[in-house]
Structure 1
Amino acid sequence: MPWRCVSHIQHQCETLANTLGNLARGARSRREKLEVKINQPRSRGRAGGLAAGMGPARRSQAQAHQLARDLRTLTEWLRHDILSLAGPPLATREALFDFIVGQLREREALDARRIRPVRIALQNQRDDLLAFAGVLDGKLAAIAQRAHVPEELVRAACVLHRKPRTSPAYWQGWGRLRARLGGQFHAVFGAVSEAMAHTPRSSSLVENLNSRLRNHFTLRRHLGAPYLDLLRFFLNHRRFMRSRRAGRQGRSPCELMTGRDHPHWLTLLGLGTLQSRQA
């Protein structure tokens, strides 16, 4: 299943919200500095010209702060209500997801350079990002059928996992749910916990690949074919320094796939003979 990396898209949204927050603070700082200049005695002669800029400065600050608040709210909704493992059914998540994409589109003209890439990323990846929710829905429906209880109560047990156990709200919800499920409570709650524990929000392979590639892309402005070809060669021929599987340690992906040894990757590029322990 081509699940997308949920943590990566959340990081993109968090970065956007933080950037807009910084811009809003910068707009406030500029307005405050302008007010200080207007009130300085030595600026009395040009106070009229400075005061003319106060209106635009205030409007710029208000717009920047409103945009930052809106994006922070949308980011929190995305993280807490849509991409959280414990949450509503897939259909509800999809509706909320589309709402957030629509809200981003409405605000795109205010800062297209920053908002548009995030909006497009969300729009293009919706089905893959929410794939885990469809899998979880099926598991919860199966639990309800086996236990002969309403599916809404099983969903309530799932959503209850979203609250911290140290909060009064958790134990209040726990008590209400136990009263409604009666003797079935512990079996249903345990089955829901087990189902959630075995429903990852993204492929571990995708997470691993992203973590390996991110360091190679961070400091580069342009990613052309020559660089990507070299990176692919490096990753295919660089030997694993450690691995949970003993048979992989000290061998490269190419060696594991072909069953044949090869020299150090720098040697293959014609840069001299190197010992395998330097891989």
Structure 2
Amino acid sequence: MDRGVGAAVRPLPESGRKVLAIQALAGTDTVSDLAAQHEVSRKFVYQQAHKASAALDDAFSPAVRDDDVLFELAVTKTWLRQVIVALPLICRSSCRGVVEFLRDLLGLPVSLGQVHDVLQAATRQASVVNDEPDLSGIRVGLHDEIFQGATPVLAGVDARSTYCYLLVAEQHRDADTWGVHLLDAAERGLRPDYTIADAGRGLRAGQQAAWGDTPCHGDVFHIQRQCEGLANTLSRLATGATTRRKVLQAGTSRAGERDPEGKLDVQLEQARHAEAQASCLARDVRTLVQWLRHDILALAGPDLATRRELFDFTVAELMAREPEDPRRIRPVRVALQNQRDNLLAFAGVLDVELAAIARAHAVPEPLVREACMLHRVPTTSTAYWQGWSELRAQMRGKFHILFNAVHRAMASTLRSSSLVENLNSRLRTYFTLRRHLGGSYLDLLRFLLNHRRFLRSRHAERQGKSPRELMTGQGHPHWLTLLGLGPLQPRRA
């Protein structure tokens, strides 16, 4: 039945009006058909469609027009200094970029020298603030020598909080240079339980001279990368030997009777021998490197004594294959042989932690070691859950507490100084500051890295806190305020 405009309208519930409005906007049915289906007038259909369209326009239209004033900000000399410092540090802007920003957006003529003077003043204040914190809370220090061009930069980072307590450019990286800076840090309370560093002689000798018997553990990252490089190089050589053999084999097939003396056959046989030798060497070295990474230097692994035996076996096997390619294998083998105790020092730390867990929970130490080894298995595998169930049955109600304790112990046992490598990558983005401020720019960057709060982190305890707050457990004002450029100006609506 066709209902006209003036026809009586049957009241529709709210849900029915919504459905009607959506159908009208969709346009799949005519207005007349919708009016007939819902027993309403066409005018009513148009009204619901208009309401829905207005609601959509309101939902998707900007809440504030582009020319509306959002808030007011008083431009003072202090605020301008904040902008001059923040643009290079937050946005990685060059000094000329700061000049251009102030000129184009604020219509303010500022010279390059003025920008330089503001940054220099901030750098001097940053140097003062850098020497304030007490470093006695640092338990594990990470040391490394990073490079800005040909200039070595000595770096030291707290493993727990990522607080950078040493970042200075020097002409040398010998024992005396390291020793002087570590003694200065010791006067501020730095006396870690141990440090982690690569095999640098000057670094280690300087620490021994400054801190005596403080252990310096080996960094597994560098040696693993060196071993992986050897394995990859030998694999490429083996691939090249295979390619040469295939080329000779194809040439021998085409030569036919044109090689009566069989010279190509001799060359092909030699190529086959070289291919077999190169492939075997590459395969053996790759296997040894994988053992080293997955079984010996892995965090979840056997006790220290067993790791030493496996380590010595790996070195012996490399030495046995050294005559086949001494130029490439010998440096890696010597590095492993000389660094064994330093590289495996983390295993001794883990052994002590696991033994303490076993005593605290009155559980046999082999079961605690099994809980540690279970961390090697992916949690998505059947083997993991089978081992998980077996351990749970053996521990009689203590499994979850003990397993969590083992997990915490492993998380606190460090094997590499990768945080320093990360620091190096962050410094490289500030090359313009290095050019304008010289070596003192490192003081300003160290200040920024230590006092800028983490916006996000994989570690929940770090979010919203700065490295200094994490290290000292005490709050501090915004970093611009610490530089004498604050307080920050609140915006006015």
Q: Give the TM-score taking structure 2 as reference length.
A: 0.44
1:55 aligns with 2:260: no
CA distance in 1, matches of 2:337, 2:441: 36
How far apart are the structure 2 equivalents of 1:33 and 1:98? 40
Q: Is the 8 A contact 1:140 1:151 kept in 2?
A: yes
Give a deviation string over 1:216-265, Cα, whole Å, max 9, x none: 9xxxxxxxxxxxxxxxxx86874443643139xxxxxxxxxxxxxxxxxx
How far is the alpha carbon of 1:156 from its aligned partner? Answer: 0.2
What letter corresponds to residue 285 of structure 2 in structure 1? L
1:25 alignment partner, SS class = helix
Q: CA deviation at 1:54?
A: 1.8
Residue 53 of structure 1 aligns to a residue whose secondary structure is: helix
Q: How far off its partner does 1:131 sit?
A: 0.6
Deviations 1:83-108 (A, max 9, x none): 10000000000100011011111111
**1:36 matched to 2:250:** yes
| Residue 8 (1) aligns with residue 217 (2) | no
Question: Contact 1:24/1:61 (CA < 8 Å) preserved in 2?
Answer: yes
Residues 194 and 28 of structure 1, relative CA distance in 2, 3 Å threshold: same
| SS state at 2:218 partner | coil
Counterpart mapping for 1:185-264 below 5 A: 185-203=399-417, 208=420, 212=424, 238-241=442-445, 243-246=448-451
Q: Could you tell me which residue of structure 2 aligns to residue 72 of structure 1?
A: 286
**Match for residue 236 of structure 2 among 13, 22, 27:** 22
Given that 1:104 and 1:119 are in contact with CA atoms closer than 8 Å, whether structure 2 keeps it comes out as: yes
- Alignment-derived partner of residue 152 in structure 1: 366
Q: Which residue of 1 aligns with 2:329?
A: 115
The structure that is helix-richer by fraction is: 1
- Distance in structure 1 (CA, Å) of the matches to 2:423 and 2:233: 23
Contact residue 3 and residue 203 of structure 1 kept, 8 A? no
Report Cα offsets for 1:158-179 as digits up to 9, x if no partner. Answer: 0000111001111111111111
Cα offset for 1:128? 0.8
Q: Secondary structure at the match of 1:91?
A: helix
Give the superposed CA RMSD: 2.2
SS at match of 2:449: coil
1:45 deviates by: 1.1
Structure 1 distance, partners of 2:303, 2:285, is: 24
Displacement of 1:52 after TM fit?
Answer: 1.2
Q: Which amino acid aligns with 2:404?
A: G
Corresponding residue SS for 2:360: helix
Q: 2:312 aligns with which of 81, 95, 98?
A: 98
- Greater strand proportion: 2
In 2, Cα distance between the equivalents of 1:198 and 1:153?
Answer: 20
What is the distance in 2 between the residues matched to 1:184 and 1:123?
41
Inter-partner Cα distance in structure 2 for 1:126 and 1:235: 36
Give the deviation of 1:49 after TM superposition: 1.0
Q: CA 1:182/1:236 → structure 2, altered by over 3 Å: closer, same or farther?
A: farther
1:118 partner letter = V
How far the C-alpha of 1:53 sits from its partner, in A, is 1.2
Deviations 1:69-125 (A, max 9, x none): 101100110000011000000000010001101111111110011000000111111
**Aligned residues, how many?**
226
How far did residue 210 of structure 1 move? 9.0
Counterpart CA distance in 2 for 1:14 and 1:235 is: 35
Structure 2: distance between partners of 1:73 and 1:8? 19
Q: How does 1:160-199 map to 2 (within 5 A)?
A: 160-199=374-413
Q: Give, in whole Å, the separation in 2 of the partners of 1:147 and 1:239.
A: 47
Q: C-alpha separation between the residues in 2 aligned to 1:142 and 1:182?
A: 19
- Given the superposition, is the C-alpha separation of residues 178 and 68 from structure 1 closer, same or farther in structure 2, using an over 3 Å criterion? same
Separation in structure 1 between the aligned mates of residue 412 and residue 220 of structure 2, nearest angstrom: 16
**Partners of 1:132 and 1:202 within 8 A in 2:** no
Fraction of identical pairs, as percent: 55
Q: Give the 3 Å change call, closer, same or farther, for CA 246–210 of structure 1 in structure 2.
A: closer
Residue 202 of structure 1 aligns to a residue whose secondary structure is coil
CA–CA distance in structure 2, aligned partners of residues 210 and 129 of structure 1:
21
User: 1:45 corresponds to which residue?
Assistant: 258
- Report which of the two structures shows the higher radius of gyration computed on alpha carbons: 2
Gaps of at least 5 residues in structure 2 are 1-193, 195-215, 429-437, 453-493
3-state SS in 1 of match to 2:384: helix
TM-score, length-scaled by structure 1: 0.76
Give the drift of 1:55.
Answer: 1.7
Unaligned runs of 5+ in 1: 217-233, 248-279
> SS of 2:397's equivalent?
helix
Could you tell me how far apart the structure 2 residues matched to 1:211 and 1:90 are? Answer: 31
